[in-house]
Structure 1
Amino acid sequence: MKTILFTLWCVATVCFSGDVPNVLLIVADDLGYSDLSCYGNDRVQTPNIDKLAEQGMRMTQFYAAGPVCTPTRASIVTGKYPLRYNIESIFRDRGEYLPAGHSLPQLMKDAGYTTALVGKWHLGGLRLKDRERRDEVDGPHEHGYEHYLCQIEEHPLRTEYFKRGDLYSRGGTCLLENEQPMDENHRYFSMFFTDIMGEETIRLINIFNEQDKPFFIHANFQVPHLPLERAPEPHWSATAEDGLSEEQHRIRSMLARLDYQIGRIFDVVEDNTLIIFTSDNGGHKFSNNGPWRGIKSDLYEGGIRVPFIVWWPGHMEAGSISDERGHSNDILPTLCAAAGIVLPADENFDGQNLLPLLEGDFLDRSAQPEFWYFDKNQGRKKKKPGTLTGAIRLGDWKLLTAYGEPKELYNLTDDPQEKINRMTDMPEKTAELAELLANWLAEPRNTYKTAR
């Protein structure tokens, strides 16, 4: 009987061995495709993030699940398209929250990992009054994070920080640590927000490295999301340049500070650690989205194609570059596979395990479509006609639609900048992709919830 029970436990979770990796998932916020020097930025040097790519793998066709943060963050945590939860845009700190379930941190926790979340969550349940209603409202703990240090998601609190332009310099004044607001005596109260994220991640790694079980840390840096602020010295002076605008100087200093903190984190991780570095969506108007058309909130490549770097010594060719496609839905099944976790059989995940690709095998996704739906008119009294809301990519082809009506068709191999609309000369391809997208949009959905 003991043998049978042990076998069942292994199938449902994982049988640990000495080579199960620690996992560090780092997600930047509004980071443009070419904001990093390893992705072609010759104006800002990011040597520490570049080192991850030099010793690991970077992907050139990795997609965020949405052109803004909440959809992609939901995708990372659930391994599913955000539309499965009816998430069409951002949560606005008005009680919306993602219901807990087979979330990535819960799967890791159930498999014996110590789990922690640091930084921006933006999936709800972090209003101050939500803390007394955990039987009704799910937050980070309910999703499986044993420890969290996150922003309070209270309206209009975060909005006021954005308007004043001091979200980073006053970052320690609007944080919750395991349900407790920080006061002026807290170690992080007066620190620059990027530095808080680095310090807390390092603190947790040092603690967890002393344990006899692996850890999963999900570190969500806010850089380079607006407001643009001057980073602390020496990075403000180090990024000065004659003729540089104030906005560009600020974002460059913020990126340099982010890279500095990534370097400090990198110094304390052990070799048996799997690190993923990516972004929640494309960059805003001050970011560098490289050759791609569009910015954050667009369904063009500039809004959804993001950097993606994996570091795991001994499991991939150092300095390798993959031009295969990947998607934020893939993060959950990939990390679970690396940890030896068997996904629940009663759950349908949209993502695909990328480990074979990372280890050098060919992963053919030419027949597998990727879908997007984002409504930037959500919450507005009047919808702007012609707003692009849906997208599908299948092989080389990408179709964009406006509330179900096909509008633009591009061949991304021949026309990666999405300049030549091929709808007129490719009616059959347009119809094929439009039907696939319509069928996907018609599939049954769960829904996010809203607490009073």
Structure 2
Amino acid sequence: MALGQAARGGPGGKPNAKPNIIFILADDLGWADLSVYGNTEFRTPNLDKLAAQGLRLTQHYSNSAVCSATRFGLITGRYQYRLRGGLEEPLAGASDTIGLPPNHPTLPSLLKAAGYRTALFGKWHLGSLPNFGPLKSGYETFYGNYGGAIDYFTHKPGVGPNVKEDLYEGETPVSEVGYYTDLLGDRASAYIKKHSSDKPFFLSLHYTAPHWPWEGPKDEEVSQQITNIFHYDGGDLATYAKMVVALDASIGRVLKTLERKGLADNTIVIFTSDNGGERFSKTWPFSGQKTELLEGGIRVPGIVRWPDKIRAGQVSDQVAISMDWLPTLLAAAGTEPAASHPPDGTNLLPVLLGEEKPAERTLFWRYKANAQRAVRAGDWKYLKLNGNEFLFDLSNDPRERANLAGKHPDKLADLKEQWEQWDAEMLPITPEVSTHGVTGKVQADKYAPEGTD
């Protein structure tokens, strides 16, 4: 079935059949790391094509400036600060008590209850076994890593003979040979190939790319020479380009499988990143990067394609955030969030379908490191960083260089008060909450191999 044909029902040709859903999440991908978002150093043809066939968001945000916190927001549809694990920046190593509670409604559990098959291939990072994991939170199938970063070839979260692979089939450790980005794409393609038409599927494809360590698909020798998984002394722009191009190619193979299977028209495909880019990433025209609440740390690519319902070739300035996808995708699937856990995110489906115009939003962030606070209200942004307060008009100053706090003291005071009221509804950040995976030397020594973002 060619893209754009009116399949009107997808699997089995059933009228108004529920759409399949593929949610693709990159790790540490910056705003301008895709050529469709302005990268001129290398090309990402598959994601560029995805954007051309659907809708590209220019004001899409991550729930946090680091990964595990954003993943709490994405999977629950709520501010991550409502859960103890969501306070961690990022979630630090193995813990019996800190993770996504299995009884909490999630995007996969709610879709599963609505008749979907559910699968996650890739990074989990929402708590460790035996108390936490994808199979305990709505996914029926899992292949990937439970923690944060792993080496692309050894699949280990650290270096040394005593470090075990963080690669699992369900809850069983496995060992495989291959570049991790390729392994994940292959698993996703195989899952789609085996799909039968009796139920729709929800497939989460959560890559670790282009997160460090800095290894391209042919860099086995680099992998063998690494002495620290954080890889502070490695990497360069050329290697980073190879990692992003490999990510794009892996996604391209998955999308080709979807098309060959005849499922493309009635499948929603979403692509975004868990936070802004890191040291080799391109975030222009924004300032800041991962771990910062400047735009470069939280504004990320956002692409959605659904040929049956969403007109191709669109660019939208709708402000969106990770936690919006739960209510949006549940609406597309004809179901609703759990009444016991109302989402903080917004159902964007009417905007994506062209039934409503983009609406103004008010969004909030906080980050323990450097005592950061941020509010986006309309085009105004309040930012507090290292005790300094800023007010920016993002419509005229997306680079956040002209501090208007002195010219608009009333607006500054209003946004500060809104932040305080919002913050009072969230769990407090107490001294034991970790930042960057550690709270002190003891925890750093204990968890450094696995507590990576």
Normalised TM-score (structure 2): 0.81
Report whether the alignment pairs 1:169 with 2:163: no
Distance 1:28 1:42, change over 3 A: same
Residues 247-303 of structure 1: per-residue CA shift (max 9 Å, x gap): 111111111111111110001111211100000000001011120000111100000
C-alpha displacement of 1:17: 6.3
C-alpha displacement of 1:347: 2.2
C-alpha displacement of 1:18: 4.5
Which residue, 243, 246, 249 being the options, matches 1:257?
Answer: 246
Q: Percent identity?
A: 40
Whether the 8 Å CA contact 2:127–2:146 is kept in 1: the answer is no
Report whether the alignment pairs 1:194 with 2:177: no
In structure 1, what is the equivalent of residue 58 of structure 2?
60
Whether the 8 Å CA contact 1:59–1:309 is kept in 2: the answer is yes
Distance 1:102 1:67, change over 3 A: same
Whether the 8 Å CA contact 2:126–2:132 is kept in 1: the answer is no
In structure 1, what is the equivalent of residue 170 of structure 2?
178
Distance 1:446 1:299, change over 3 A: closer
In structure 1, what is the equivalent of residue 216 of structure 2?
230
User: Aligned AA for 1:106?
Assistant: S
C-alpha displacement of 1:406: 6.3
Measured in 1, the distance between the counterparts of 2:306 and 2:124 equals 25
In structure 2, what is the equivalent of residue 295 of structure 1?
289
Which residue, 365, 369, 372 being the options, matches 1:389?
Answer: 372
Residues 98-135 of structure 1: per-residue CA shift (max 9 Å, x gap): 11311000001111100001101111124xxx2xxxxx
Superposed, which structure 2 residues align to 1:5-44 within 5 Å? 18-44=16-42
Distance 1:262 1:424, change over 3 A: same
In structure 2, what is the equivalent of residue 413 of structure 1?
395
Aligned residues: 389
C-alpha displacement of 1:20: 0.7
Whether the 8 Å CA contact 1:373–1:390 is kept in 2: the answer is yes
* CA-atom RMSD in angstroms: 2.4
What stretches of structure 1 of length at least 5 have no aligned partner? Answer: 1-15, 131-136, 162-166, 184-188, 237-244, 377-386
Report whether the alignment pairs 1:214 with 2:200: yes
Measured in 1, the distance between the counterparts of 2:235 and 2:116 equals 44
Show structure 1 runs of 4+ deviating over 4 A: 446-450
C-alpha displacement of 1:425: 1.5
In structure 2, what is the equivalent of residue 266 of structure 1?
255
Structure 2 SS opposite 1:171: coil
C-alpha displacement of 1:231: 1.9
Measured in 1, the distance between the counterparts of 2:36 and 2:135 equals 35
Distance 1:174 1:138, change over 3 A: closer
In structure 2, what is the equivalent of residue 12 of structure 1?
none
Report whether the alignment pairs 1:111 with 2:118: no
What stretches of structure 2 of length at least 5 have no aligned partner? Answer: 1-13, 157-164, 223-233, 435-445, 447-453
User: Aligned AA for 2:94?
Assistant: R
Measured in 2, the distance between the counterparts of 1:435 and 1:280 equals 28
Normalised TM-score (structure 1): 0.82
User: Aligned AA for 1:197?
Assistant: L
Report whether the alignment pairs 1:325 with 2:309: no
Whether the 8 Å CA contact 1:406–1:430 is kept in 2: the answer is no
C-alpha displacement of 1:388: 4.2
Residues 375-434 of structure 1: per-residue CA shift (max 9 Å, x gap): 12xxxxxxxxxx24211010111011258x661111111211000111112110111000
Report whether the alignment pairs 1:340 with 2:350: no
Distance 1:449 1:437, change over 3 A: closer
C-alpha displacement of 1:230: 2.4
Structure 2 SS opposite 1:97: coil
Measured in 1, the distance between the counterparts of 2:397 and 2:73 equals 28
